[in-house]
Amino acid sequence: MKYCKICRKEFPRDLMFCPECNSFLEPVSHSKTLDEGIVEHGINRIIFFDTETSGLNPNYCKIIELGMLVIEDGKIIEEYDKLINIGERIDSTITRITGITNDMLIDEGVSEGDVAQDLKEKLISGTLMIAYNCQFDLSFAYGLLKRHYPHEAEAIIEDVKWLDPMTVFKDRKAYPHKFSDAVEHYDIRNVNFHRAIGDAKGLYEVCLSLKDERDDLGEYINVFGYNPRYGINGLKFPFIEYKKHYYNDSMVSPNNILPKI
């Protein structure tokens, strides 16, 4: 088999150029996987995840959709996507942003307890959790676990590692740095924005592009940048190193990435 770095797909070995984008195909053995270079950090599984929520404050709002893309040995082994019936109505603004309706949560949503159990089972030692603006999703994931496992929640989230690609992206490109900006910058196509599994899949592609651009993602594990003008949003977790992150005009040098300053 051969591999297209642009489309992120494999094709028969007798082809020289990608039938979809006409770029040169590489032998699969030469293509990089995201977990290469991260295994030395004790990582044997990577989960890209995204949450859609009933609001912005994790102290009062809840996850209404959780999406997870589970990677082992460079391969996608599971796609997890659940709507959650939180037992309360969501605002029309949330429906307008996500397309998720109250009827969908009632008819298709599972119980919050079931999703908390699923999340707990996935947050095991050796796992790297990746979310864009990870502070936000980590705060909501912790809130979910705290409601159902009040005596275990801290240990559960501390037992795994966390990576925020937005922090990486801020070291690569000038403002702005929304997820949609990263998707556009790296020419990622067909992302279903504001649905959890769609964003998780898009994030996987963004991270592959970040790794291809410069292979230093492992340096950012458990390091979150924040805008000093606004401070840290949400809970401050003791296992995360928070650093003031200023805007850059272009990609910073390897010696000036946020984890090293």
- The DSSP H or E segment spanning 207 is helix 196-213
pTM of the model: 0.87
199: Cβ contacts below 8 Å, ≥ 6 apart? 50, 67, 132, 179, 191, 192, 193
- Of 83, 77, 157, the C-alpha closest to 114 is 83
Q: Which pLDDT does position 32 carry in this prediction?
A: 52
pLDDT at 218: 95
- Tokens 């008819």, residue located: 107
Which pLDDT tens digit goes with each residue over 152-195?
999 999 999 999 999 999 999 999 999 999 999 999 988 999 99
Tokens of 83: 């709507």
**Which fold is adopted by the domain 33-260?**
Nucleotidyltransferase; domain 5 (3.30.420)
- Joined together, the tokens standing for residue 200 give 């998780």
In tens, the pLDDT along 38-57 reads 666 789 999 999 999 999 99
How buried is 96 (Cβ within 10 angstroms: 0-12 exposed, 13-18 middle, 19+ buried)?
A: exposed
pLDDT of residue 113: 98
Q: CA of 161: how far to CAs of 164, 179, 243, in Å?
A: 10, 21, 17
Res 202 pLDDT > 50: yes
- pLDDT, residue 34, reads 72
Q: Residue 45: count other Cβ atoms within 10 Å of its Cβ.
A: 18
Integer angstrom CA distances of residue 235 from 135, 143, 153: 8, 10, 14
Q: What is the pLDDT of residue 21?
A: 82
Residue 76 three-state SS: strand
What is the percent of the chain with per-residue pLDDT over 70, rounded to a whole number? 91
- Tell the burial category of 257 from Cβ atoms under 10 Å away from its Cβ (0-12, 13-18, 19+): buried
Q: What mean pLDDT, rounded, does the chain reach? A: 91
Q: What are the helix and strand counts (H, E) for the chain? A: 8, 11
Structure tokens at 42: 């004790």
Q: What pLDDT does 150 receive?
A: 98
Kindly report, residue by residue over 204-260, the tens digit of the pLDDT: 999 999 999 999 999 999 999 999 999 999 889 999 999 999 999 999 999 999 999
Mind giving me the DSSP string for 126-169? TEEEE-TTHHHHHHHHHHHHHHH-TTTHHHHHHTSEEE-HHHHH
By DSSP bridging, strand 161-163 and strand 127-130 are parallel
Domain range summary for the chain, segments of one domain joined by +? 1-31, 33-260
